[in-house]
Amino acid sequence: IEFAMDASMFVGPNGRVKSLFWVGLSCVLLLLDYFSGPAIQFPVLFLLPIALAAWYGGRKWGFVLATILPMARLVFWNFWDPGWSFAIEAANTLVRFAAFWSFAFAVDVARRKTEEVISLRGLLPICSFCKSIRDNRGEWQPLEKYVAHHSAASFTHGVCPECAKEHFDPLLRKPSL
């Protein structure tokens, strides 16, 4: 049986990482954590699925994993004989909650900031006649296309009163045949 690893297994058609991937990654890390025992701790690796969940699924998914992963480790304590009390493990779990929740929150804030409007700065070379803009590759693009591609803005089209008067009044005043 051949197992071909394809990016489409992890990334959807829109370029977003599939939730099944970060949940599966969390399960693999939990198994590694469980079978390595209490002495070797993998919780720092839990930051990866938490980051993926918070970035691609939003704050809610980040918080879900930031809650489930430390709780699973607390459950593992019942199967291990780590040599420390439940109170110490519970305190460690609270520290993990605080760290993971803060991390999920920070990742979500970073994601939101990157999705905000990208401001266009500097001088834009624009054609005096057709209003096309020359991009950094030297190609000319319509103003609407350029702005939509380089920011979160989109356009609707209408006709201002001055242009309506200039362009449509003469047509309306022509006598019909």
Alpha-carbon span 87 to 97, nearest angstrom: 15
8 A C-beta contact, residue 80 and residue 72 = no
Q: What is the pTM of this model?
A: 0.58
Q: What confidence score (pLDDT) does residue 16 get?
A: 61
- pLDDT above 80: residue 97: yes
Instruction: Tell me what percent of the residues of the chain surpass a pLDDT of 70.
Output: 82
> Is the pLDDT at 84 greater than 90, yes or no?
no
Q: If you count them, how many residues does the chain have?
A: 177
Burial class (CB in 10 A: 0-12, 13-18, 19+), 45: middle
174: which 2 tokens? Answer: 């022509």
pLDDT above 90 covers a percentage of the chain that reads 21
